[in-house]
Chain A
Amino acid sequence: MRIQCPICGSRDRREFYYKGDALALKRPAPDAGAEAWDDYVYLRDNPAGWHSELWQHEAGCGAWLVVERNITSHEIRKVTLAEDAT
């Protein structure tokens, strides 16, 4: 699997660190309430298909990326810098 880093270009998967769902970028307001925070911290959709994920180019430029990856085929259709995605 290769990931197209917007800064470094196409790189091997081993250079990247996987964080989890890109939902982490959508942090609720501190006073959003228990339900919103419960959803943010614990609840994830897990479709057999496209996921939006956070990866870090750890062994490369260090940038955090939002990667759209199909978990059934590992096809990647879009990679953006996390700073541009928020």
Chain B
Amino acid sequence: MVELIAKSACAGLLPLKIGGLLAAEKDLGVLTAIMPFIGQDKAASDMLKAVHGVTLPEAGRVIGDDDTRIIWFGRGQVLLAGPTPSTDLAQVAALSDQSDAWCCVELSGAGAVDVLARLVPIDLRASAFPKGHTARSMIGHMNGSVSCLGSDRFLMMVFRSMAGTLVHELAEAMETVVART
């Protein structure tokens, strides 16, 4: 059997360091969309807690760490990032493997929020969007997901096919923010 080497979405495009800002691709591990069946939210949450140690997050929240993270991902949908999901979850939710479908980029450094202010039409300042908050919104013209992982640390996700555009838009915004400081 030939051992194939996986090519990541931003291979050759990142990391990008401009001033004190760093955009780097983030390997989130296995990505699984979990959509609890109607009325099964609690059962799905209990099972997630028992198997993976995280509960079902409420709308707009992200829970966990780099080993196991669970991101609210839309109406009735969350994204489990990290472990391979337990097949038991299929009893209470629809599961879909999304591992290769998303381009995941972490933007960090002082001024990261100013960069995103140029791209995302929601308030991402720490007062409105602290660590543990997530949103589905737009990044430039792309539909995507933005999460706050910590002070001046944001995780951005867009469709994998948009990786080049995301890096281009980010680079432009990072350059203009750094040029003004």
Residues of A that sit less than 8 Å from B by CB: 7-9, 11-12, 14-15, 57-63
B137 near A11 with CB under 8 A, answer yes
Q: Which residues of B pack against A, CB within 8 Å?
A: 59-60, 74-75, 77, 121-122, 135-138, 143
Shortest Cβ distance from B135 into A: residue: A8
- Please measure, in the bound complex, the distance between the C-alpha atom of A60 and the C-alpha atom of B60, giving whole angstroms: 11
Q: Interface SS of chain A: helix, strand, loop or mixed? A: loop
- Our pick among A8, A14, A59 for the contact of B59 (Cβ within 8 Å) is A8
A12 touching B121 in the complex, CB below 8 Å, given contacts A7-B75, A59-B137, A61-B74: yes
Q: How far is the CA of A33 from the CA of B90 in the complex (A)?
A: 42
Residues of B within 8 A of A61 (CB): 59, 74-75, 136
Determine the chain B residues whose CB is within 8 A of the CB of A63 once the complex forms: 75
Please list the 9 inter-chain residue pairs (A to B) with the smallest Cβ-Cβ separation, ordered nearest first.
Answer: A63-B75, A61-B75, A12-B121, A59-B143, A62-B74, A61-B74, A59-B138, A60-B136, A7-B59
